């Protein structure tokens, strides 16, 4: 299916068979490794749901992931999957997309993987505007490797490396992506699963670099240490800290939550897609020889 066809399907539900997440997963890898209550599984379901409604053939999907709990998700997807080194999924995805522009390349990464060791790759992926969708799962901690502080850990939160509470300001990944030139930027919480699915559909259909931050929860490592309650309590708390955002970046006025983070489509930046520009330049150079 071409990008134009995918765009046509972005705004409507699939008319084919009803969505069954298990038809998109590798059954031989079950039971999965996720902790009870982890929001990453909800995000994975939303991504598969979006792909289903866009009617993208699994052979045309390429999932690239890095290190961490988020990075392990790619292994469960019954498609072309590539598990890369820490912080480098966007770099690998860029090479893959340039070599195989026919593939729908989707990166699954985490807040530590994407913003710490991989932060420079994110900046330049946004700047280039190559047709890649990046889904960053933000649970505010390095959940798989010991519960260390991450760039998005909220202030005063306890982690294994901030036993007295985090003293650093949390990183707003969406503002960074927008400032670096990403074509499509959005944010959503896992509890809003149908809304997250629709946001991911729009991101995948966009012809350029799309960055979606998914506010997820780490119940066992982060939630327990900070007495944040069980998973339902954590995700409802996350929802209360967000406010809806209308298309085009116009924030809904909610004065009773002045510090709430906006969700939905935060910005769009229509400009040439890097892969097409690069291939046109190469073709032009060949004609001049």
- β strands within the chain, DSSP E: 61-65, 80-83, 104-110, 133-138, 141-142, 148-149, 184-189, 210-215, 242-243, 261-262, 264-268
- Would you state the pLDDT for residue 261? 83
Sign of the Cα torsion 125, 128, 130, 133 reads positive
Q: Is residue 19 included in any domain, yes or no?
A: no
- Would you state the pLDDT for residue 213? 97
Q: Provide the domain count of the chain.
A: 1
- Would you state the pLDDT for residue 248? 42
3-state SS, residue 211: strand
- Would you state the pLDDT for residue 25? 96
pLDDT digits (tens, 9 = 90+) for 258-274: 457 889 999 999 999 99
Q: Which residue ranges of the chain lie beneath pLDDT 70?
A: 1, 13-16, 245-259
- Would you state the pLDDT for residue 14? 57
For residue 201, what is the enclosing H or E element? helix 193-205
Cα separation of 267 and 199, whole Å? 12
Q: Is residue 5 included in any domain, yes or no?
A: no
- DSSP classification of residue 268: E
Q: Which residues pair with 64 in a beta bridge?
A: 82, 107
Burial of 234 (0-12, 13-18, 19+ CB in 10 A): buried
Tokens, residue 26: 């590798």
Q: Is residue 255 included in any domain, yes or no?
A: yes
- Would you state the pLDDT for residue 287? 86
> Is the CB of residue 19 less than 8 Å from the CB of residue 72?
no
Cα separation of 62 and 105, whole Å? 5
Cα separation of 201 and 135, whole Å? 12
pLDDT digits (tens, 9 = 90+) for 238-262: 888 887 764 344 444 444 444 578 8
Q: Is residue 137 included in any domain, yes or no?
A: yes
Q: Is residue 85 included in any domain, yes or no?
A: yes
What range does the domain containing 77 cover? 33-288
DSSP per-residue codes, 85-118: -TT-HHHHHHHHHHH-TTSEEEEEEEHHHHHTTT
Q: Is residue 270 included in any domain, yes or no?
A: yes
3-state SS, residue 235: helix
Q: Is residue 11 included in any domain, yes or no?
A: no
- Give me the CATH number covering residue 278: 3.40.50.970
**First vs last Cα of the chain: how many Å apart?**
34
- Would you state the pLDDT for residue 10? 82
- Would you state the pLDDT for residue 245? 60
Q: Is residue 21 included in any domain, yes or no?
A: no
């Amino acid at each position: 299916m071409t990008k134009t066809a995918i765009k046509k399907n972005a705004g409507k539900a699939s008319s084919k068979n009803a969505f069954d997440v298990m038809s998109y997963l590798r059954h031989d890898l079950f039971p999965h490794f996720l902790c009870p209550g982890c929001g990453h599984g909800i995000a994975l379901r939303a991504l598969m749901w979006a792909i289903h409604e866009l009617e993208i053939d699994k052979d045309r999907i390429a999932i690239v992931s890095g290190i961490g709990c988020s990075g392990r998700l790619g292994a469960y997807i019954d498609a072309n999957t590539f598990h890369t080194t820490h912080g480098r999924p966007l770099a690998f995805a860029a090479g893959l997309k340039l070599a195989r522009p026919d593939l729908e390349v989707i990166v699954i990464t985490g807040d530590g993987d994407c913003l710490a060791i991989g932060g420079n790759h994110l900046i330049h992926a946004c700047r280039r505007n190559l047709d890649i969708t990046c889904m960053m799962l933000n649970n505010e901690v390095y959940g798989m490797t010991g519960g260390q502080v991450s760039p998005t850990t909220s202030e005063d939160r306890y982690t294994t490396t901030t036993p007295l509470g985090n003293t650093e300001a949390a990183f707003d990944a969406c503002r960074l992506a927008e400032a670096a030139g990403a074509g499509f930027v959005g944010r959503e919480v896992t509890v809003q699963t149908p809304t997250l699915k629709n946001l991911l559909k729009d991101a995948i259909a966009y012809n350029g670099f799309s960055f979606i931050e998914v506010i997820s929860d780490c119940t066992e490592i982060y939630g327990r240490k900070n007495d944040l309650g069980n998973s339902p309590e954590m995700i409802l708390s996350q929802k209360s800290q967000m406010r809806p955002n209308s298309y085009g970046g116009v924030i809904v006025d909610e004065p009773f939550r002045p510090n709430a983070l906006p969700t939905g489509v935060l910005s769009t930046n229509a400009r040439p897609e890097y892969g097409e520009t690069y291939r046109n330049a190469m073709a032009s150079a060949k004609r001049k020889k």
